[in-house]
Amino acid sequence: MTFIIDTLNKLYPKTPIPLNHKDPYTLLIAVLLSAQSTDVGVNKITPILFEIADNPYDMVKLKVEEIREIIKPVGLSPMKSKGIHGLSKILISSYNGKVPISFEALESLPSVGHKTASVVMSQAFNIPAFPVDTHIHRLMYRWGLSTGKNVSQTEKDAKKLFPKELWNKLHLQIIYYGRNYSPARGWILEKDSITIQIGRKSVLKEYHKKTLKK
């Protein structure tokens, strides 16, 4: 684990949050929008949405259809627009318009799953969490640190292996590393210094088999 942590700290001493936001509410909305979309795509849409409504009180003044029209480019807009409107109403009625600092409360909101709640707890409130996205799930398997069975198992394994005080920074470092050096497509092992050193043997074998065929 020390090798992974040291390598990531050298590459990413600072870990800016990829989704543009200004407070817990705008982060919650941005994370919800990012499901099956890219951070770049979300960051193009949120300034338009937040110019009109950057708090739950203004958001509920919009119709679900109006929200849907704005967020359409990020995909899954029917579900996401209902979720945004619904959770905004609940924040007003149950939490004085504030985002609750609780996994249980966050996960009870419409369209908010465990990963979204974990991102908000980690990045908005600095409470230790290890949100697992596609990059972390892939790299934990490639590095032989998890079975790759499902994201829930990957999260459990990551939490067991890495010190709690590093989780909030480390999950972002792994995401950045996955994007830059160990992507799902166009992966060049020679540039992936961590996987070269500690990679799962079956993954390395499969990689070399594919490159020989080319």
Catalytic residue (choose from 54, 80, 115, 157): 115
Instruction: Give catalytic status of residue 6 as yes or no.
Output: no
The enclosing H or E element of 69 equals: helix 64-71
Catalytic residue (choose from 133, 156, 159, 169): 133
Instruction: Give catalytic status of residue 164 as yes or no.
Output: no
For residues 33 and 196, what is the distance between their CA atoms, to the nearest angstrom?
34
Burial class (CB within 10 angstroms; exposed 0-12, middle 13-18, buried 19+) of 175? buried
Closest listed residue to residue 25, CA positions, set 112, 120, 126: 120
Instruction: Note the helical H segments in the chain.
Output: 2-11, 24-33, 39-52, 56-59, 64-71, 77-95, 103-107, 114-123, 134-142, 151-161, 167-181, 193-198, 201-213
For residues 91 and 113, what is the distance between their CA atoms, to the nearest angstrom?
16
Structure tokens at 133: 């996205």
For residues 152 and 148, what is the distance between their CA atoms, to the nearest angstrom?
10
Structure tokens at 33: 């929008």
Residues with catalytic annotation? 115, 133
